[in-house]
Structure 1
Amino acid sequence: MSAATPRTLIVTGGSKGIGAAIARAAGIAGFRVALSYKGDAAGAEQVARAIEAAGAEALIVKADVAQEADVLALFEAIDARFGPPDVLVNNAGGVGPLGRVEAIGASALAEVMAINVVGSFLCCREAVKRMSTRHGGHGGVIVNMSSRAAELGGAGEWVHYAASKGAVNSLTIGLAREVAAEGIRVNAVAPGLIATNLHAAAGAPDRLERLGPSIPMQRPGTAQEVADIVMWLASPASAYVTGAIVPVAGGR
């Protein structure tokens, strides 16, 4: 990457956890980074300062990706500051409440689907409009955040979340094939058990300790280990990779 012509990377949900790790890694790699957040303004500011400390530019935009108007405003803000994006990382997401299928209400289900599926779809749509050679763009990369739960099913805890990530996998594969000849690569990363605050926030603070020993590598992963794979998919090193769902799960 030339220092004179830095590329632009978008991370949705970049204020904490895996999203924050991706945003910081992108800044270190020399990207101009646009990160969105829904509620954690302080976290977003902290991540932006880390990006700037690495010598890169950062743009913070408050946006709920489940809302089409917010997605449009996010991309318009990036257009105005940086121009068309080169990489989109669809990281913003939610797990909803812990519980079996019969305990999940329609509103909780709709919220998870709106963030994880509709939000990812809308962001992909806006990125394609700007990246595709069919629309006069110069190509680009989209990385969607899936989960190993999409294949494992999340029984007893998060079947609703797993179903939403199954939809993300289908979106990834279908879109990859749709835009492969238009200069855009589309892949997904599927983390397993990762040490972030997601588990405690969902009401299961002991989940990492409880499930860690069941993983073949005998430990949870880190947000940085997920970010490393995202950055590989965003780089020329993965130039012939599209439509892939890459597990980052310690063998789980």
Structure 2
Amino acid sequence: MPRPRTPASLRRVTVVTGAGRGIGAATALRLARDGHHIGVNYAADEEAAARTAEAVRALGREAVTVRADTGDAAAVDHLFDTVRDALGPLTGLVNNAGVSGPLGRFTETSPEVMRRVVDVNVTGALLCARRALREMSTAHGGQGGGIVNISSCAATLGSPGEYVHYAASKAAVDAMTVGLAKEFTGEGVRVNCVQPGSVLTEMHARMGDPDRAWKKAEITPARRPGEPEEIADAVAWLLSDEASYVSGAVLRAAGGL
């Protein structure tokens, strides 16, 4: 039996959550180079999302920006409805949106921060995956597609003294990846995950330590932080035909950690 190939006539339409900056923005541009039209989701920074969309259009692809809190089910429906109406039927999702809260010991982490992290990183990823699967699964009348969840090497390292709550949320993302792959690969949707290590993004500053990525380089075998584009390359491969037999994978991109 020949391996499946994406028909040349298929229009690739992919939602990237948290696509205004960092890994999300880099992924949107990398996928645009591969021929994807992009639904650019953002939570608050409209200007950053607009820059991502303009960069996608400069590559000859279409883009639409949609403000949506992925932890809210109604907002998620609005996101996917808007992208479908503007760009066409969905073929891909990159579950990238995530928050951590400030760095600190677990006993000093507020319940409000914990709840917000779970709302976005776990519930948000589940809600987006659920809606994407309803769009793409052949059992629901879809044409198939792919989902890539963005996790973190914190899921297995635990991140003691920094953000154990965040690490726990990303372990949940790994588990949902495996479960959804087993449930939906037979319905034409491959589900995979990328576990970045410390990457040069603004997230470190928002956690309270702008130099954290370089500090982590000291314990990383590669002796440097990752670049957002390096994570984007891994995502693009998992959504490509070259990964046609890959589903349920948790791909670590962490410089050897």
TM-score range, shorter chain: over 0.9
Alignment-mate amino acid for residue 76 of structure 2: V
Q: Which residue of 163, 171, 178 maps to 1:173?
A: 178
1:192 is matched with: 197
Conserved? CA contact 2:27–2:232, under 8 Å: yes
> Normalized against structure 2, the TM-score is what?
0.95
The separation in 1 between residues aligned to 2:237 and 2:84, in whole angstroms, is 25
Matched, 1:78 2:83: yes
Query: How far apart are residue 138 of structure 1 and its match?
Result: 1.1
Query: How far apart are residue 208 of structure 1 and its match?
Result: 1.8
Alignment-mate amino acid for residue 168 of structure 1: V
> Normalized against structure 1, the TM-score is what?
0.97
Q: Which residue of 24, 30, 37 maps to 1:25?
A: 30
Q: Which residue of 208, 220, 223 maps to 1:218?
A: 223
Query: How far apart are residue 28 of structure 1 and its match?
Result: 1.5
**Deviations 1:19-75 (CA, angstroms, capped at 9, x unpaired):** 000011111111111110011111011111111111110110011101111101001
2:63 is matched with: 58
Superposed counterparts of 1:34-113, under 5 Å: 34-113=39-118
Q: Structure 2: 5+ residue runs without aligned partners?
A: 1-5
Query: How far apart are residue 5 of structure 1 and its match?
Result: 4.4
2:13 is matched with: 8
Matched, 1:201 2:206: yes
2:167 is matched with: 162
Q: Structure 1: 5+ residue runs without aligned partners?
A: none
The separation in 2 between residues aligned to 1:14 and 1:163, in whole angstroms, is 23
The separation in 1 between residues aligned to 2:213 and 2:123, in whole angstroms, is 29
1:240 is matched with: 245
2:148 is matched with: 143
Conserved? CA contact 1:3–1:30, under 8 Å: no
The separation in 1 between residues aligned to 2:79 and 2:246, in whole angstroms, is 27
How many residue pairs get matched?
Answer: 252
The separation in 1 between residues aligned to 2:184 and 2:201, in whole angstroms, is 33
Distance 1:227 1:240, change over 3 A: same
Q: Sequence identity, in percent?
A: 46
SS in 1 for 2:128: helix
The separation in 2 between residues aligned to 1:104 and 1:90, in whole angstroms, is 25
SS in 2 for 1:52: helix
Alignment-mate amino acid for residue 145 of structure 1: I
2:3 is matched with: none
Conserved? CA contact 1:208–1:220, under 8 Å: yes
Query: How far apart are residue 178 of structure 1 and its match?
Result: 0.6
Alignment-mate amino acid for residue 109 of structure 2: I
Give the aligned CA root-mean-square deviation in angstroms.
Answer: 1.2
Conserved? CA contact 2:63–2:87, under 8 Å: no
1:249 is matched with: 254
Conserved? CA contact 2:102–2:206, under 8 Å: no
The separation in 2 between residues aligned to 1:13 and 1:220, in whole angstroms, is 21
